[in-house]
A and B are shown apart, each in its own frame.
Chain A
Amino acid sequence: MNLSGVAVLAALLLLWELSSRSSPNLRSYFPPPSEVTFVLFRLAFAREILGHLTKTLERFLGGYLLAAAIAVSLGACLGYFRTAHSLFGLLIELLRPMPSVAIIPVAILLLGIGDAMIVGVTVYACAWPILINTIDGVRSIDRTLVDTGRTFGLGRWRILREIALPAAAPYIATGLRVSLPIALILVTTSEMVVGGSGLGYFILDEERSFRTKEMYAGIVVVALLGYGLNRLFIALEKRVMAWHRGMTAKGVS
Chain B
Amino acid sequence: MPILQVENLSKSYRQAGGESTLAIENISFTVNEGEFLSLVGPSGCGKTTLLMSIAGLIAPSAGRVAVKGAEVAGPPRDLVLVFQEYNKSLFAWRTVLGNVLFGLEAKGRPPLDAEAKGRWLIRLVGLEGFERHYPWELSGGMQQRVAIARALAYEPEVLLMDEPFGSVDAMTRLELEDGLLKLWKELGTTILFVTHDIEEAIYLSDRIHVLGPRPSSIIHTLDVGLERPRKQMTTRADANFMKLRNEIYRRIAPRLPSGW
Contacts and interface: CB of A to CB of B under 8 A. Distances in A.
Nearest to A165: B93
Given A154-B106, A246-B134, A144 B93 contact: no
Given A151-B81, A153-B107, A142 B88 contact: yes
Nearest to A149: B106
B93 A244 contact: yes
B80 A151 contact: yes
Interface string A27-41: 000000000000000
A151 B94 CA distance: 18
A144 B88 contact: yes
Question: Helix, strand, loop or mixed for chain B's interface?
Answer: loop
A250 B93 CA distance: 15
Interface in A140-191: 142, 144-145, 147-148, 150-154, 162-163, 166-167, 169
A74 B236 CA distance: 57
B85 A152 contact: no
Nearest to A163: B91
Interface in B120-170: 134, 136-137, 154
B197 to A, nearest CB: 21
B103 A167 contact: no
B146 to A, nearest CB: 12
A246 B81 contact: no
B77 interface: yes
A252 interface: yes
A243 B88 contact: no
Contact of A150 (B75, B77, B94, B136): B75
Interface residues of A, number: 21
B57 A150 contact: yes
A11 to B, nearest CB: 43
Nearest to B74: A150
Contact of B77 (A147, A153, A166, A243): A153
Contacts of B55: 151
How many chain B residues sit at the interface, stated as a range, is: 20 to 34
A63 B90 CA distance: 36
B203 interface: no
A247 interface: yes
A247 B75 contact: no
Interface in A211-253: 243-244, 246-247, 250, 252
A152 B100 CA distance: 12
A163 B99 CA distance: 11
B32 interface: no
Contact of B91 (A147, A150, A151, A166): A166
A145 B161 CA distance: 16
Interface in B70-123: 74-75, 77, 79-81, 83, 85, 87-89, 91-94, 102-103, 106-107
Contact of B88 (A145, A151, A247, A250): A145
Given A243-B134, A246-B136, A148 B83 contact: yes
Nearest to B83: A144
B89 A148 contact: yes
Contacts of A145: 88-89, 91
Contacts of B83: 144, 147-148
B143 to A, nearest CB: 11
B257 to A, nearest CB: 27
Contacts of B154: 152
Interface in B1-38: none
Contacts of A154: 106
Interface in A5-42: none
B92 A244 contact: yes
A246 B137 contact: yes
A148 B151 CA distance: 10
Given A144-B85, A246-B137, A250-B136, A151 B92 contact: no
Given A153-B75, A246-B137, A167 B92 contact: yes
A243 B94 CA distance: 8
Nearest to A249: B136
Contacts of B74: 150
Interface of A: 142, 144-145, 147-148, 150-154, 162-163, 166-167, 169, 243-244, 246-247, 250, 252
18 contacts: A144-B85, A144-B88, A147-B89, A148-B83, A148-B89, A150-B57, A150-B75, A151-B79, A151-B80, A151-B81, A153-B107, A163-B91, A167-B91, A243-B92, A244-B92, A247-B134, A247-B136, A252-B136
Across the A-B interface, the 5 shortest Cβ-Cβ residue pairs: A152-B106, A144-B88, A151-B81, A166-B93, A247-B136
Given A144-B88, A147-B52, A151-B81, 12 more contacts: A144-B83, A144-B85, A147-B81, A148-B89, A151-B57, A152-B102, A167-B92, A169-B93, A243-B93, A243-B134, A244-B93, A247-B136
